[in-house]
Every structure is written in C-alpha cells, then in structure tokens.
C-alpha cells in the first residue's frame, strides 16, 4: 500500500502556511510545522487544525527557528519528509528597510542552509521556496519567469538571493527545488500591517467607533492581488510535478491601492475620502515598487492552475471577516454606515 506523504512547513503560523497546512491535512499528509518560539505564542491561525489533528498525530509542531540549521537537520534526519515548504520569512517590505541584515539572514541564508542540509542528508526531499513578485521591482509589467529582477528593497534582494540559491541546488546538485514567484495574495488571515488588511480591519473599527481615520502612504502604486487559498493550491501543484521548475502565480489584472480602497468602501456605500488620509510619511518607502502585474501563462498551461477569486470576491471576503471579528454582519454594517 502507498504510504501517506509527509511535509515540513516553515512559516506555518503565517497566512499561507496556515492555509497550506489545512490543504495538506485534507490530502492526508502528515504535517510538521516549524514554529519559532516567542514569549506569547502566535498560533491563532492554526489553533483549529492543532485541536483537530495534533491528537491523531497528523500534525506535529516543532519549536525551531528557520535560522537554526542544526535543529532543522536533526528533524530532517528523524522524519525524512517527502516535501519541504519554506514559507518562513520576514515578509514585510516596508520593515525590511530597517532590518536588512535580519531579513537576509531569515529569507536568504536560511534557504541556503536548508537546501545544503537536504542535499547532504535527504536528497530525495522536494523543496519549495516562497519567491516573490517583489524580486521584479522596477521591471516593466507584465512580469513573468523571463523578466529581469530589479529588487527595490532589502526584502526584494533577500528573495532574489533565495531564488538563485534554489535554482542553483536544482541545477548543480539535482535537488527537486522549485520557486513559486507569487504576486500579492491576501485573505482574512493577512497580517494587519499589510495594506489590504489594514484597510478592511480599520474600516470595521471605524464602524464601531474605535478608529476615526485610516492613515495610508502612497496609494498610487499598483498590485496584482489574488486570494491566498488559490495560491497555496498552486504551490502544492508545483510540488506534484515530475520536474522541478519556477512558476509565476498571479491573476494578470492589477489595481492601484486607491482602487482597492474604493472597492471596499463601496461595499458599504461610504465615501472613502471622508475616512482615508494619504501620503503619511510613516508608510512611505525609500524606494517603491510601482507597478506589478503578473503573467502566469506558464503555470496555467503546465500546472493547469487558475485562480477562483477575483478582487471583488477578495474584498468582500476580507471585509465580512473583519466585520464578524467585531460582531457585525454585512447588513448591520450597512445600517451603521448610513449614519456615519
Ligand atoms: P506571513 O503571514 O508574514 O508569515 C510569515 C511566517 O514566517 C510566519 O509564520 C512567521 O512566524 C514565520 N517566520 C518569520 N521569521 C521566522 C523565523 N526566524 N523562524 C521561523 N519562522 C519565522 O507571510 P505570508 O504572507 O504567509 O507569506 C508566506 C511566504 O511567501 C513568505 O516567505 C513571503 O515572503 C512569501 N510571499 C508572500 C506573498 C504574499 O503576498 N503574501 C507574495 C510572495 C511571496 P511568526 O508567526 O512567529 O511571525
Ligand atoms: O504594500 C503601499 C505600499 O505592504 C502594498 C508582501 O506580502 O507582497 C507584499 O508586499 C503597497 C505598497 O505589500 C500603506 O507602499 C500604502 O506600494 O501591502 P503591502 P507589498 O509591499 O506589495 C509581496 C508580493 C511580498 O512578497 C511581500 O511579502 O501599498 N501602501 N499605504 C502601504 N503599505 C502598507 N503596508 N501600509 C500602508 O499604510
């Protein structure tokens, strides 16, 4: 009988890690989640699957920082996973301008060390690297696998290094190592300091009187936004291929941050200009990525992947979830909005 697969996920407590873990558990994988130890445990996004799967030993949590190579090696030797998903990262572009060294340590060096450990200790393990559209930086849209990298931040630089590291282990050492070059993807589980979630969450707080204004930076930049659920499905599909390769995942449509604000406020028939201020210096970056729009035709052709959510679905999903967080349904929120 065929043995069920096992997978390691770094970054399992994050947005993508939590959705990916759910997907793999549904496919009957044994999932090993590598979590860095913090004084207050940050496991909200995976509490439900811990409750459901830990006791039946389908989900195992290990307290290991992604930069702790020897502990990761011990774990690889002990469990010999079939697949390794490297999602852990200092993932905030704006913050990376202040934390360059740590960003490169976590995002680039850790990737190199994990791949070296796989090469030495468990060569048949498939490896996925969470690469990013930020690597394209100032390159003209639409961007695809052949587009030049022109990173504009320490985060972008760190992801370019990890991208090439992954490719190097694939080409020089024959490791199954794939890069998913993912354009922005969001969800109700998006961190609060990314612009989309900041907008939907703050709007819910405005309705209950906890906030008055949403202070944003540059809202003229453009992003190609998808839903995290669609993108983790694409990640898994990359790992089921016979041959490792690099794939862009994107919707192919981009909008400005202003467009996103307008869409969210329109759901509640509110005039966004009354509630949003822009060009707040705290959120401006020393260099910006102005225009991202992905061409994912390779993934659509080879993986047969395509996103199910469009931006309107995504805005509604995120807003409804944030309203629920503060005890409101969409209809109740619309009534409150009329009085503002
Ligand atoms: P996220 O929500 O910020 O999650 C990042 C994860 O990395 C968290 O679980 C975090 O743990 C963990 N982490 C950070 N530093 C660590 C360390 N030193 N040791 C162990 N774990 C560490 O990010 P995401 O949106 O899910 O993105 C997942 C991956 O895809 C990241 O590599 C990101 O750079 C990349 N990516 C994301 C997007 C996007 O639009 N979302 C697009 C392209 C690429 P804590 O919970 O303890 O903080
Ligand atoms: O910014 C502008 C900001 O932080 C989007 C990460 O997942 O996607 C993400 O990186 C845009 C930028 O995402 C605010 O300047 C305006 O132009 O939501 P963000 P990001 O930088 O695109 C890529 C693909 C990743 O790989 C990353 O890990 O919005 N913006 N005002 C703002 N951004 C934030 N955060 N907050 C503001 O108030």
pLDDT band at 3 (very low <50, low <70, confident <90, very high): confident
The answer to whether residues 332 and 207 belong to one domain is yes
Residue 157's domain spans which residues? Answer: 6-186+226-249
How many whole angstroms from 211 Cα to the centroid of ligand 2? 21
pLDDT at 234: 98
What confidence tens digit (pLDDT) does each residue in 72-82 have? 999 999 999 99
Which ligand 2 atom minimizes the distance to the CA of 196? 18
110-121 helix and 69-79 helix, angle to the nearest 10 degrees: 30
Same domain, 42 and 123: yes
Q: Quick check: is 236 in a domain?
A: yes
Give distance in angstroms: CA of 302 to centre of ligand 1.
Answer: 26
Give percent of the chain with pLDDT exceeding 90. Answer: 99
- Distance CA(248)–CA(98), nearest Å, equals 28
Ligand 2 pocket check for 185: Cβ under 6 Å: no
Residue 132 Cβ < 6 Å to ligand 2: yes
Alpha helices in 141-253 (DSSP H): 154-173, 195-207, 228-239
Mean pLDDT for 277-304 is 98
- Same domain, yes or no: 49 and 171: yes
**Which residue of the set 6, 132, 178, 202 is catalytic?**
132
Are 141 and 218 members of one domain?
no
Distance CA 254, CA 144 (A): 14
Please write the tens of the pLDDT for every residue from 208-252: 999 999 999 999 999 999 999 999 999 999 999 999 999 999 999
Active-site residue, from 22, 83, 134, 186: 134
Is 148 labeled as catalytic in the residue annotation? no
Do 235 and 139 reside in the same domain of the chain? yes
Is residue 88 lining ligand 1, measured as CB closer than 6 Å? yes
Asked whether the predicted pLDDT for residue 2 surpasses 80, the reply is no
Q: How confident is the model at residue 1 (pLDDT cuts 50, 70, 90)?
A: low
Residues 6+ apart with CB under 8 A from 38: none
Same-domain pairing of 177 and 280: no
CA angle 127, 137, 314 (to 5 degrees): 75
Task: Tell me if 1 is assigned to some domain.
Answer: no
Q: Is the CB of 97 under 6 A from ligand 2?
A: no
- Please report whether residue 298 resides in a domain: no
Same domain assignment for residues 88 and 176: yes
**Does some domain include residue 276?**
yes
Any idea which ligand is nearest the CA of 235? 1
**Reported confidence tier of residue 299, pLDDT bands at 50, 70, 90:** very high
Verify that 16 and 109 share a domain, yes or no: yes
The closest alpha carbon to 215, from 142, 168, 276, belongs to 276
What confidence tens digit (pLDDT) does each residue in 103-160 have?
999 999 999 999 999 999 999 999 999 999 999 999 999 999 999 999 999 999 999 9
Structural domain contains residue 50: yes
| Nearest protein Cα to ligand 2, atom 4 | 194
The alpha carbon of 304 and the centre of ligand 2 are apart by a number of angstroms equal to 28
Sheet holding 126-132, edge to edge: 59-63, 30-35, 6-10, 83-86, 126-132, 177-182, 246-249
Strand 222-223 with 255-256, pairing: antiparallel
- Give residue 124's pLDDT: 98
Annotated active-site residue 153? The verdict is no
Per-residue pLDDT reduced to its tens digit, 42-88: 999 999 999 999 999 999 999 999 999 999 999 999 999 999 999 99
Q: What CATH number has the domain bearing residue 46?
A: 3.40.50.720
**Domain annotation covers residue 297:** no
CA-193 nearest atom, ligand 2: 35
Residues 160 and 131 grouped into a single domain: yes
Instruction: Check which CATH number belongs to the domain holding 316 and give it.
Output: 3.90.25.10
State the pairing for strand pair 255-256/30-35. Answer: unpaired
In a domain, 294, yes or no: no
Asked if residue 143 has its Cβ within 6 Å of ligand 2, the reply is no
Residue with CA closest to ligand 2 atom 20: 93
Kindly state if the Cβ of 133 falls inside 6 Å of ligand 2: yes
Whether residues 146 and 272 share a domain: the answer is: no
Of all ligands present, the nearest one to the C-alpha of 290 is 2
> Exactly one of 128, 155, 231, 309 is catalytic; which is it?
155
201 and 182 together in one domain: no
Q: Is 158 annotated in the active site?
A: no
Spatial distance between the Cα atoms of 140 and 135, rounded to a whole number of angstroms = 12
Mean of pLDDT values over 330-340? 97
Is residue 306 a part of any domain in this protein? Answer: no
Q: Is 249 in the pocket of ligand 2 (CB under 6 A)?
A: no
Q: Across residues 2-20, what is the average pLDDT?
A: 95
Query: Tokens 């589980």 identify what position?
Result: 189
* Shared-domain flag, residues 234 and 120: yes
* Number of structural domains in the chain: 2
């Amino acid at each position: 009988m065929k043995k069920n697969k096992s997978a390691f996920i770094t970054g399992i407590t994050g947005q993508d890690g939590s959705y990916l873990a759910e997907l793999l558990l549904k496919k009957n994988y044994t999932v090993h989640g590598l979590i860095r130890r913090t004084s207050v445990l940050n496991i909200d996004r995976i509490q439900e699957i811990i409750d459901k799967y830990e006791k039946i030993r389908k989900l195992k949590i290990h307290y290991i920082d992604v930069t702790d190579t020897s502990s990761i090696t011990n774990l690889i030797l002990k469990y010999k996973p079939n697949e390794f998903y490297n999602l852990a990262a200092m993932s905030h572009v704006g913050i990376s301008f202040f934390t360059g060294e740590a960003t490169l340590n976590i995002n680039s060096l850790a990737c190199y060390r994990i791949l070296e450990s796989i090469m030495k200790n468990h060569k048949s393990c498939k490896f996925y690297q969470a690469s990013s559209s930020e690597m394209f930086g100032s390159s003209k849209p639409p961007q695809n696998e052949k587009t030049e990298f022109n990173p504009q931040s320490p985060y972008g630089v760190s992801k370019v290094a990890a991208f090439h590291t992954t490719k190097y282990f694939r080409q020089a050492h024959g490791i199954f190592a794939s890069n998913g070059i993912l354009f922005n993807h969001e969800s109700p589980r998006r961190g609060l300091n990314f612009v989309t979630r900041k907008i939907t969450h703050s709007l819910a707080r405005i309705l209950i009187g906890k906030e008055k204004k949403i202070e944003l930076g540059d809202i003229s930049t453009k992003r190609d936004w998808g839903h995290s659920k669609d993108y983790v499905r694409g990640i898994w599909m990359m790992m089921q291929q016979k041959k490792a390769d690099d794939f862009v995942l994107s919707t192919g449509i981009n909008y400005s941050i202003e467009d996103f604000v307008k869409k969210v406020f329109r759901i509640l028939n509110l005039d966004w200009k009354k509630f949003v201020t822009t060009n707040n210096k705290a959120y401006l970056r020393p260099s910006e990525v102005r225009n991202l729009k992905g061409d994912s035709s390779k993934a659509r052709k080879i993986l047969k992947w395509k996103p199910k959510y469009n931006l309107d679905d995504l805005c509604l999903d995120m807003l409804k979830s944030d309203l629920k967080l503060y005890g409101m349904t969409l209809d109740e929120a619309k009534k409150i909005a009329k009085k503002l």
